[in-house]
A and B are shown apart, each in its own frame.
Chain A
């Protein structure tokens, strides 16, 4: 360890004192806990959610799933190289889209239901138009967005013409789908792979989670990082914005799920299941924000009441780890995709 010269020592001391100041400030701000304030709220009923529909059709692990804006259609991507669009109510497959690369890690629906985007180990994001077919009869590829140096881990549509993606090369990129050009690119958005992202309903705020254990909140208008949140002890696998837009939940490899508030700039909830064995891979919040769902490596989805910080149940039925979870827009159902090749609809 090289000997520090006086300037560096001075800086280090300054840093230490600032750290101390910051921690004190945080403690004063944390004048109470969420559970205490919510003490007067009525308890919510225990979750007895069961599988209402099993969407069978994939022949390999399902790695991602997403509800459409109509809360009826679901897109799921699997390592068998197919994207399937389901009508979740009847259980029928509306479309099957064969992919050029089987290693798909992310698939999302545009809110309008006209487009789906997917990508993965092929380091590309491919956007399909569901209303137009190409010569072979499957959905037409509208855009193939290339230029990533790492795998595509997550993406979100702003609208039918704009999409933002997070990738393994630690970048966030915003694309204009019509011209196929990058509108904005943030290099080193995180210190490690960007694993997951979630947008607020007014599309002004984005929260991203990464393997560097942090979560960042971005202002979409000027694409700057507004805040960084710490607290997790291992990879943050999934983040989900609270419907109010002022908080978000996260699920991590460190076997906890947490709730962070953007205005208070700190963690306000920590949730562990009763038998804490496995990391969490995916998360979601109910329409009122009261329930937090987290899909886990132990094949169940754990549910907590965030106000009382109580574990209110878990959803069992999958036979292998849950890879993705999506709550429908109107809050009526939860879709989960798992390594057991099925997508299940719960309510």
Chain B
């Protein structure tokens, strides 16, 4: 089933004018494919790709403007003429002058991105990139633009490669990867290869009838089209979809009540969307939803004003620990090119005021810092309440133990901290104690988690808050402050910064 190009009848014979403009090319960009493919020409609705394509096409149209666009000419090369090309340097210069780019580097980047989508291409190469020099490029005919939602299948590709082999021109020889692809396709389509061969023959017959220069252009454009849709191995394929989403296209999502989705929007829609079809046991489903909603309403929530204030205080508190806001000291290794920061952290014995203050943020921060933990332990020992921390740490270590040792170690922990004859009893509520006792029948790494959580809470409200008010901590703060230089103090004392 071969279709001749219907549009060719309308096309006027191209003159030898160097500037072959798009319209003529479009008419001569023959409808080589079957009539079925004509449906594909309608671009889809507002998919994000379409928006981007439109933007790129807008720029390309400006580039192709006869008077103000990129200068396209025919280059004479030894015995041959290279029609309708422009140099990379011209392209970049045009972009810098006409588009809002910062500099040549950004223009080159943008040019490269547009080339990767196939709007123009290097005439000598398969790899779609742009160089800012005298390398020659050609525009792609709008017929082949990605916005036409081509999804060419392997049959079309096979026809194309087959056609290439029929023409005895060196410039049309297949590249290695193309030869491999052709071999693979031959295997895949072994049964209908005759049909493919016939189509290829028909197409090359049509091609032969055309003017030599025109053929050069069209051949190169067709090759560029395939470079986009079947790229050289190692190149990025801009037509690809994220495989995770592609998987889902064939698998419809489970039918779920999406009604509540309108609720969560702050100040969102007042009227819920139309009720979806109710599947089996509709009453039950409704009941479930009602329950869930009741729970949500019953839950106490905090006002946005309060949480915003909490956010602010957190951000302010951690501001100087955020390297993006306040430069860290010693400096960020990537900026200073030295690993001082990490070396210092390893051998950290020195207490900076910044570090000591961080311990006051939360118990988590205190225990995270090995020096902070050391000081806290010393304090607890003075207060004779170190068993809480020791228990909590033993439970954390238990989680890292080898499976074999878990059972014995948990029994040890039990007898040391929780049992009736515990050597260092910790204070936990009776419920947790009971639950843990029951769990001790089958001890595993997480047996003590509940009890440990309780102890952590206790530490935080009791020992930790006293530690922060203690003389020891105050001394650490002032002592470390004295050590820092004057410059350091100026950085510490908060000035209102606007």
A residues neighboring B (CB under 8 Å): 1, 7-8, 11-12, 14-16, 18-19, 21-23, 25-27, 29-34, 36-38, 41-42, 44-45, 47, 49, 52-53, 59, 61, 70, 72, 89, 103, 105, 121, 151, 153, 159-162, 168, 176, 178-179, 191-193, 195, 201-202, 211-214, 221, 227-231, 235, 243-244, 246-247, 255, 261, 263-268, 277-279, 281, 286-291, 297-299, 306-307, 316-317, 319-320, 323, 330-333, 339-341, 345, 347
The answer to whether B265 touches A21 (Cβ under 8 A) is: no
Q: How far is the CB of A343 from chain B (nearest CB, A)?
A: 14
Q: Are A159 and B399 interface neighbours, CB within 8 A?
A: yes
Q: CB within 8 A of B308: which of A37, A229, A332?
A: A37
- B52 and A289 contact, CB distance less than 8 A: no
- Whether the pair A42, B498 counts as a contact (CB closer than 8 A) is yes
| A332 and B332 contact, CB distance less than 8 A | yes
CA of A230 to CA of B48 in the docked complex: distance in angstroms? 23
Q: Are A266 and B266 in contact (CB under 8 A)?
A: yes
In angstroms, Cα B113 to Cα A317, docked, is 11
Min distance, Cβ A110 to any Cβ of chain B, angstroms: 11
A160 to B396, CA, bound (A): 12
Distance from A341 Cβ to chain B, minimum over Cβ atoms (Å): 8
User: Is B260's CB within 8 Å of the partner chain A?
Assistant: yes
Given contacts A8-B286, A331-B321, A333-B332, 10 further A-B contacts (CB under 8 A): A22-B293, A42-B497, A191-B253, A221-B450, A244-B310, A263-B306, A277-B51, A286-B322, A306-B311, A307-B315
The answer to whether A229 touches B264 (Cβ under 8 A) is yes
- Minimum distance in angstroms from A314 CB to a CB of chain B: 13
Which of B52, B253, B296, B303 is in CB contact (< 8 Å) with A22? B296
Interface locus among B29-37, B170-178, B241-249, B432-440: B241-249
Contact B312 A37 (CB under 8 A): yes
B182 to chain A, nearest CB (A): 23
State whether the Cβ of B493 lies closer than 8 Å to any Cβ in chain A.
no
Is B109's CB under 8 angstroms from A221's CB? no
Contact B290 A331 (CB under 8 A): no
Tell me whether B307 is interfacial, beta carbon within 8 Å: yes
Contact A89 B339 (CB under 8 A): yes
Count of chain B residues near A, Cβ 8 A = 89
Residues of A contacting B289 in the complex (Cβ-Cβ under 8 angstroms): 15
Q: How far is the CB of B278 from chain A (nearest CB, A)?
A: 8
Contacts of B234 in A (CB 8 A): 59
List B contacts of A72 (CB < 8 A): 333, 342
Q: Which of A34, A168, A231, A255 contacts B311 (CB 8 A)?
A: A34
CA distance A72 to B296 in the complex (A): 42
Find out whether the CB atom of B253 lies under 8 angstroms from the CB atom of A192. Answer: yes
CB neighbours (8 Å) of A21 from chain B are 297
Bound-state Cα–Cα, A286 to B399, Å = 30
Contact check, A52 vs B335: say whether CB atoms are below 8 A apart. Answer: yes
Does B301 belong to the interface (CB within 8 Å)? Answer: yes
Whether B490 sits at the interface, judged by CB under 8 Å, is: no
Q: Are A19 and B293 in contact (CB under 8 A)?
A: yes
State whether B264 touches A266 (Cβ < 8 A).
Answer: yes
Residues of A within 8 A of B263 (CB): 19, 22-23, 26, 230
Instruction: Give residues of chain B (287-343) contacting chain A, Cβ–Cβ below 8 Å.
Output: 287, 289-290, 293-294, 296-297, 299, 301-312, 314-319, 321-325, 328, 332-335, 339, 342
Do B266 and A267 touch across chains, with their CB atoms under 8 A apart? yes
| B238 within 8 Å of A (CB atoms) | yes
Verify if B475 is at the interface (C-beta below 8 Å from A). Answer: no
Q: How far is the CB of A66 from chain B (nearest CB, A)?
A: 18
For residue A60, which residue of chain B has the nearest CB?
A: B234
| B445 partner residues in chain A, CB cutoff 8 A | 161, 176
Query: Which of B260, B278, B304, B403 sits near A29, CB closer than 8 Å?
Result: B304
- Cβ of A211 and Cβ of B322 under 8 Å apart? no
A230 vs B253: C-alpha distance when bound (angstroms): 17
Asked if B402 lies at the interface with its beta carbon under 8 angstroms from chain A, I say yes
Residue of A at shortest CB range from B254? A191
- Specify which chain B residues have a CB less than 8 angstroms from the CB of A41 in the assembled complex: 312, 315-316
- Whether the Cβ atoms of B283 and A11 lie closer than 8 Å is yes
